[in-house]
Amino acid sequence: MADSISWQRFCRIPLGVAVPHPTTLMKITTRCGTSAVDGLNEALLAKAVTAKVLKTNRVRADTTVVEANVAYPSDSSLLAKGVAKMAATTNKLKALGFASRTKMADRTRSVRSRARSINANLKRRNDDRLIEVRRINTELADIAERVARQADAVARNASRKLRQAGGGASGTARVLVKGLIETAERTRRVAAQTRQRLAGTTPDGSTRIVSLHDPDARPIVKGRLGKPVEFDYKAQLVDNEDGVIVDHNVEIGNPAGGPQLEPAIRRIKQRTGRALRAVTADRGYGEAGVEDALRNLGVRHVVLPTKGKPTVARREIENRRAFKNMVRWRTGCEGRISCAKRDFGLARTRHAGIEGARTWCGHGVFAHNLVKISGLLA
């Protein structure tokens, strides 16, 4: 922002005055959370409704994934990171005078060397390589669980001293103790899913830990050739004829799209004060229960291609010209999603956790709608 006169004028910052540091804006964004950004989006849409520029004759919905800010995970790398993080946090606490006599072994070099040796063993051409990899993973899980127990003792003793200090306790120490407890708990979960995989069972994707700092990220299979498995959040966008995103939501994992459509249309109806004339979405929403729910909300035309093989009566409905025109118009939502990802940051969230992802995506939607609605008002 410091080298852009137009941005300084937009933010009402006088020329020649120092602009805020980027980390200041990041801290404000994190502190405000989803309530603030949701309020901004609601106020902007309310302004568009008052100015009578928000069309709701027909809307279209589609889902996409928002990539989490995590590296491609493996259980061995997560275990190594967990052990190293617990050791570093413990050293910081002891430097502050907390739990100084509690034993805590620093196994960082040991786990990192084992994690690196897994790749070296996988490159071997003999039949013993998989046996060796399983042995190394078992050792990593054992070390991680042992270090996690020691971290619990450190956190317990440090918490006791914090309680004794009362209101004069160090805020940094409180944050470190909280982080140590969370890291130990997540590392134990990674060790458990490692043992489950070694036993021949694939961990459930809806509960699998793929990141220590972002525990809400989940593996999602989208069928892409380059990325068969992604580690993301699921987002739904609903836009109108002018390209304004009239509703959005972000969820953990890979929930079905059908149950999300009716609450979205209900929220749009509450914002505008009138029922929508037509709603369309892709085949993933094509369920009889979804159509009935939308008609109960006053939607006159529900255009949802049915899942599976349609009946003769249903095929006659889907072959009508009006139905096909709405289905063709729905494909424009793909371009809307592409624009939101490319120009407004919805491709990858930079904040951890579901609340962080919702805050990040809410800011992107607000910026997108600000450009669209300001053009309509002009």
Confidence at residue 52, expressed as pLDDT on a 0 to 100 scale: 92
**Rounded Cα distance, 348 and 65, in Å:** 9
Q: What are phi and psi of 237, to 5 degrees?
A: -120, 140
Helix (H, G, I), strand (E, B) or coil at 221: strand
Q: pLDDT tens for residues 21-41? A: 767 766 766 677 788 899 999
Q: Could you give the maximum distance between any two Cα atoms of the chain, in Å?
A: 78
**Helices 332-344 and 353-377, axial angle in degrees (round to 10):** 110
- Which of 41-59 are b and which e, b meaning 16 or more Cβ less than 10 Å from the residue's Cβ? beebbeebbeeebbbbebb
Model confidence band, residue 372 (pLDDT cutoffs 50, 70, 90): very high
* Section 210-230 average pLDDT: 85
Q: Tokens 């008052």 correspond to what residue?
A: 50
pLDDT of residue 127: 74
The percent of residues above 70 in pLDDT, for the chain, comes to 97
Sign of CA dihedral 321, 325, 326, 331: positive
**pLDDT, tens digit (0-9, with 9 covering 90-100), for 329-349:** 999 999 999 999 999 999 999
Q: Is the pLDDT of residue 11 over 70?
A: yes
Whether 224 shows a pLDDT value over 80: the answer reads: no
How do 229-239 and 58-67 pair as beta strands?
antiparallel
Convert the pLDDT of each residue in 302-334 to its tens digit.
Answer: 999 998 888 899 899 999 999 999 999 999 999
- Would the pTM count as exceeding 0.95? no
Most confident of 118-127, 246-255, 305-314: 246-255
pLDDT of 111 > 80? The answer is: yes
Q: Identify the pLDDT of residue 153.
A: 95
Q: Is the pLDDT of residue 184 over 90?
A: yes
**Cross-strand partners of 58:** 278
Q: Distances from the Cα of 310 to the Cαs of 259, 317, 318, in angstroms?
A: 21, 10, 9
pLDDT at position 334: 92
Q: How far apart are the first and last CA of the chain?
A: 26
Query: Cα separations (Å) of 255 from 8, 63, 250, 252, 362?
Result: 41, 10, 10, 8, 19
Q: How far apart are CA 99 and CA 155, in angstroms?
A: 8
Helix 258-272 to helix 288-296 angle (10° resolution) is 10
Determine the pLDDT at residue 140: 94
Look at residue 2 in the predicted model and tell me its pLDDT.
63
